[in-house]
Structure 1
């Protein structure tokens, strides 16, 4: 398995320059940090484009579950579920992909990189995670997540070694992690930049409605092997739920400079409030202690998958900012990571659903931008999937 996703010797020529590159990266990071320590965030939407439309075209009925990520070479990849016959969560699907090689200015045509055939309970798009140390992009997704005309769920993995141009055949992780239903994300996984467990890949997600909660998958050898990490189970666990039960669901992790991981989660049954559940892990998601759970009352939420990202030591968050309806896609930010105040800008006032955030690093100019992909509609939340390029500092 050592060569499962990357060929030995292909990067030998880079070793001689690794030291110089590390010096440059460290210098660049310090430069960017020095430029933005006290700069006030004043977001401006510089550009927005529709990537996918709801209308049935060819074999696709509806596009849902938008995800966006950077790539090792500094490009952008957008992903979505291309639902073949219905707008419902079940049914057969493709994983749809579009690439941008010019920082979101233009996007290449849609490609279908996974096809589950005509199964009655098809794939659920989960999370993308970039291994920056090995220049690999992984996508984690699930099969038979709803147990509709099937009874064994599988967690699947594909990988790209060439910046998202080609992808490996799907690999079933069931022998490593079991067959408990696990839906990653939806969003992105992380590679830890700091100790503890520097370099670890972390993908978090949720389980079935009865056996729900936050569950994390971990890899300490660049995706060659995966293990089950920490979890935060619903209460009552593996039992039917009622309104106001504790039931964390779809989630997005990000890492803080102190090495801790924050997981921002959907509060499925509105336990304690119509707001987000947040849990901190200080051991690289080996555990998700219940004593580290808090409720972000400022982040009102109608129970939906949301975007979260740490950039320039500021936490950014996107969701439909409404307690009951999927309306009003809003970008919020926190300088402390725990206090949000009135720091917000509306991205879209109408129907809006799932969202995801990414950023490109590597230059001072790119430190000014984030990219928000989200479900945007005039009549339904899934009329389109759109991506907005947001300048964080007033367009300057």
Structure 2
């Protein structure tokens, strides 16, 4: 009888299998990122274009598709030169891509289009691409900022709107990367695009729109030191940047450390007023995120912060995905994406599809300018 009771009790026990994806660290579900798809979606020489650079990537607000954007540099790799604004679309999560479209053509041979940031207005279902012209003052002297807008999920785009009419002609290069729409504070609905200035007048600057992109103004900034003065190595030069909204409604801007001030690592700025100000007391250097001075990807998704860059203090090599379970205080986890030459990167997710993040980055075997490669990373497998 005792033996039967023991057997009966054992048979009624529920066997619980603990999977890594169900484990939690600090209340955040643990992830196990794995690359499940990679494809070069732009290669130097495609469509008789010399090189493709400056990757942008976003979801579309209505159909939850993916849009990739790039500078199609017509004749050379130079930042200052004639370009198309190229765009490609995937309607199946990155498994296939429609042929590229050129939605802007600067038509010049000097200092044309400079990307730029893409920002989605989820409330109205619109997409903005922000770009500049004459940002390097190469045989021109007035920098102008524009946006193009799509109201049909990225299939068509309106004529460029001149943003410099309201913010002035001081050089402003958005991103490169993604702008954000604030959703976790009293500033809900606000569009925020952050970027940088010229090298002399450099710094991290943010633009704000509280009317769904009809009007823009300057918000918070973190100026270089010395400001409006020729720079030398070691100066404080915040540069290309990526804003992220945190769960408490604050905005963190992960920023390129152009002058390697203090370290070969990232500068982090924080705003608690929707991007209006970035107090110096809240600025710090993330010694764990080393960099060779480059535009990097940053993303907050389901309680986890992600960061991509070529993880080196001296060369653009070793594209790596890092993730943090404590809002970026520590970065103890990483995944190698490509160990060889790699440059700018950006990231996005598709709302409602929590299991994946998507990366677009500059990739090559000899140089970083050989291709733009799309990567799908599954977070639980």
The 2-side partners of 1:114 and 1:255 are apart by 30
Per-residue displacement from partner, 1:14-45 (whole Å, max 9, x unpaired)?
xxxxxxxxxxxxxxxxxxxx998543221100
Deviates more, 1:218-227 or 1:334-343: 334-343
1:146 aligns with 2:136: yes
TM-score between both structures, scaled by the size of structure 1? 0.88
Give structure 2 stretches of 5+ with no counterpart: 1-21
1:192 aligns with 2:159: no
1:345 aligned partner: 335
The 2-side partners of 1:335 and 1:62 are apart by 37
SS in 1 for 2:354: helix
- 1:58-207 alignment, distance < 5 Å: 58=48, 60-72=49-61, 73-207=63-197
Deviates more, 1:341-350 or 1:259-268: 341-350
Give structure 1 stretches of 5+ with no counterpart: 1-33
8 Å contact kept, 2:324–2:332 = no
8 Å contact kept, 2:322–2:331 = no
SS in 2 for 1:367: strand
Per-residue displacement from partner, 1:303-332 (whole Å, max 9, x unpaired)?
000000000111000000000000000000
- 1:234-383 alignment, distance < 5 Å: 234-362=224-352, 366-383=353-370
8 Å contact kept, 1:91–1:120 = yes
Per-residue displacement from partner, 1:214-236 (whole Å, max 9, x unpaired)?
01110000001111111100000
TM-aligned CA deviation for residue 391 of structure 1: 0.6
TM-aligned CA deviation for residue 340 of structure 1: 2.9
| CA-atom RMSD in angstroms | 1.4
The 1-side partners of 2:305 and 2:293 are apart by 20
8 Å contact kept, 2:39–2:375 = yes
The 2-side partners of 1:57 and 1:136 are apart by 29
TM-aligned CA deviation for residue 179 of structure 1: 0.4
Structure with higher Rg: it is: 2
The 2-side partners of 1:215 and 1:40 are apart by 34
8 Å contact kept, 1:196–1:283 = no
The 2-side partners of 1:233 and 1:382 are apart by 30
Cα–Cα, structure 1 residues 38 and 209, in superposed 2: closer, same or farther, change >3 Å? closer
Per-residue displacement from partner, 1:274-300 (whole Å, max 9, x unpaired)?
000000000011111111101000000
TM-aligned CA deviation for residue 105 of structure 1: 1.0
The 2-side partners of 1:142 and 1:209 are apart by 15
8 Å contact kept, 1:332–1:340 = no
Structure 1 residue ranges, 4+ long, deviating more than 4 angstroms after superposition: 34-38
Query: How many equivalent residue pairs?
Result: 358
TM-score between both structures, scaled by the size of structure 2? 0.92
Per-residue displacement from partner, 1:50-92 (whole Å, max 9, x unpaired)?
100013642x111000110011120000000000111110111
Higher strand proportion = 2
